Amino acid sequence: MTPLLCDPISLRISPVVGEKALMVRSADTDNKTSPLQMKLAPVVPARWPCRIFLHCGLYGHERAVTDVKFSTGGEIGLLAATVSSDRMLKVWRQMGPREWTVWCNCEGHSDCIRTVAWAPDGQSIVTGSADNTMKVWALQGEDEDDAEATLSESAELADAMSPMRREKKFKLLCTLDGHGDTVTSVRFHPAGSLALSCSRDRKVRVYDTRVPFRAVEPASHSHSVSVITAAKGKASFPHDKEARELVASVDTAGMVKIWDVQTGEPVHVWTVDSQHSQPVTCMAFTNSVNFLITASKDGSIKRWDLRRLAEDSKQMSEEARKRLEKKGKELEENPRKLKAHQG
């Protein structure tokens, strides 16, 4: 299944893997609503399925686009961050209903950028790359010396360029090391202070941006970790004494771990290989945090009831463990198949 990314504000959906252009699409439920009106119109589930039509195409990357995320950007307006095999992070700004422009280009990674995520406040971006690092980009003002060098001796031209000089752009804030292989997925925790990442080195890392950027003790899997996601609210299950802030990660062998982001303690562990025949490519909690949605290369989407899982043992059944171990051995003995699972 090709991952689809949806902007809930304007119902824009973009296929992002293997394309050199970011295609922004709008949902038209009655064939009469304009894109601008659709942006302001509420979502009515009863009217779905809806018709999806091409909104606009954004061109600028030299190689395949690997990920895209939207942000409201606060006062700046609607923004889109795209990353590519060309090692470039591009931030696009919406100038009109069907008009987008490259707002800033960010360079720094030495290999393909695989994943990108926005901070909840829209003031920071985190990227993960095949160079084994994460980079945090923050919204900062232009350097005064550089700005002065661009000014003309003409007072009128200087006044005209003043707003441009003061405009903020995304610049590299820091590089986060620690992974021993390609970073496959990154997220900011909804609380905003934690940056999450997972990698082919089988580890999940949590960076506390308040310390600053101190790596919290990482969780680990038995195989390459492909996707990580965080719940927007706290959840409490029957065996929990108090509500927890949850994060979910899944590896290429199909093991899903839901764990407490503050303590690193596993809350639920199970394998999805009985329902998905191919690796999971996308994953998200519902707003209620009662369900986890997984999408796979096999073309299926599954919904997992976490409340029902909580009623079972906190450990996987012996049968599931044996099945997972057997699959892991098969992958290790077949390098070609392992590479395909790692995507």
CA dihedral in degrees (298, 302, 306, 308; nearest 10)?
-110
Q: Which residue has the higher pLDDT, 25 or 332?
A: 332
Q: Which of 25-29, 180-184, 190-194, 218-222 has the highest mean pLDDT?
A: 180-184
Output the CA torsion sign for 80, 83, 84, 89. Answer: positive
Q: Which residue has the higher pLDDT, 82 or 210?
A: 82
Pick from 263, 258, 262: nearest CA to 316: 258
How many whole angstroms separate alpha carbon 295 and alpha carbon 279?
9
How many whole angstroms separate alpha carbon 320 and alpha carbon 255?
10
Cα–Cα separations (whole angstroms), residue 336 to 262, 325, 332: 37, 18, 9
Point out which residues pair with 171 in neighbouring strands: 138
Question: Do you find a cis peptide bond into 3, omega within 30 degrees of 0?
Answer: no
Question: What is the structure's pLDDT at 158?
Answer: 41
Quote the percentage of the chain above a pLDDT of 90: 38
Question: What is the structure's pLDDT at 10?
Answer: 35
Cβ of 311: how many Cβ atoms within 10 Å? 10
Mean pLDDT over 210-219 rounds to 70
Residue identified by tokens 């596993």 is 266
Cβ of 335: how many Cβ atoms within 10 Å? 9
* Token pair of 90 as six digits: 């591009």
Where does residue 185 rank: exposed (0-12), middle (13-18), buried (19+ CB within 10 A)?
Answer: buried
Question: What is the structure's pLDDT at 41?
Answer: 33
How many whole angstroms separate alpha carbon 108 and alpha carbon 91?
14
Contact predicate 220/204, CB 8 Å: yes
What pLDDT, in 10s, does the model give residues 222-231? 899 999 999 9
Where does residue 94 rank: exposed (0-12), middle (13-18), buried (19+ CB within 10 A)?
Answer: buried
**128 pLDDT exceeds 90?**
yes
**Out of 107-111, 163-167, 265-269, 300-304, least confident range:** 163-167
How many whole angstroms separate alpha carbon 307 and alpha carbon 258?
13
Question: What is the structure's pLDDT at 101?
Answer: 92
**160 pLDDT exceeds 50?**
no
Report the Cα–Cα distance between both ends of the chain, in Å, rounded. 12
* Token pair of 35 as six digits: 């894109």
